[in-house]
A = this chain, B = another copy of it.
Amino acid sequence: MHIQQSFADEVAGHLLQINAIKLNVEQPFTWSSGLLAPVYCDNRRILSFPGIRRMVAENLADIIRSRFPGVELIAGVATGAIAHGVLVAEHLDLPFVYVRSTPKAHGLGSQVEGYAPPGSRTVLVEDLISTGKSSMAAFNALKELGMQMMGMCAIFTYDLDMACENLKETENSLYVLSNFETLLKTAEERGLISAEEKHELTAWRDDPLAWSNARS
């Protein structure tokens, strides 16, 4: 996994500024898995801030242009990365599809929506990497449809060990705009968290399950 150091500080700052990332050690957030965590990232908020929305899409497009020459198709993971993904596709003047982590239950709709000619050289756009499971499921769904997967790029990662594990197959072709470590540094510099809180947040990152269990 490659963190784009040239963007990481700026992106982390913006995500904190617009409350796309919230930190709260005292009153942790309940994730959809049921686990408690001192951090919550909602990159859909980026969509409501046109300047930051454009900067994120341009940064992702720049990475794709330089790292994946010859890319033919941009795919976005549903639902969080549909909007970010299509903006990236628009910057690159490329076709776009979106992919669900699980197949749709009814109708003609399939796991991949849009027109994806088999063999297309494809880059997947993800809004957030937490455990890496749904990103990998989307990546594999495209592969099974016959796409030639070049790699993946994402806006933010929590730096969890299990994400590295789950995304092992793509690790050399996965580019992320910013990450948890940079976020903590930025939050501390801005006086948003104390040294003690930073310590707690790092303890969570090192073992999210133990951290949650100790508080449930």
Contacts and interface: CB of A to CB of B under 8 A. Distances in A.
A113 B42 CA distance: 9
Interface string A150-186: 0000000000000000000000000000000000000
Which of the listed residues A82, A93, A109, A116 has the most CB atoms from chain B within 10 Å of its own CB?
A: A82
A48 B86 contact: no
Contacts of A32: 106-107, 109
A86 B42 CA distance: 17
A82 to B, nearest CB: 4
Interface string A103-132: 000111100011110000000000000000
A45 interface: yes
A49 B95 contact: yes
B83 A98 contact: yes
A54 interface: yes
Chain A residues touching B, majority SS: mixed
A44 B90 contact: no
A18 interface: yes
Contacts of A113: 42, 44, 47, 79
A107 B32 CA distance: 4
A117 to B, nearest CB: 9
Contacts of A95: 47-50
A106 B93 CA distance: 35
Given A29-B108, A79-B78, A45 B115 contact: yes
A47 B109 CA distance: 15
A86 B47 contact: yes
A115 B50 CA distance: 12
9 contacts: A19-B115, A29-B108, A30-B108, A47-B89, A47-B96, A48-B115, A53-B90, A54-B90, A79-B113
B116 A44 contact: no
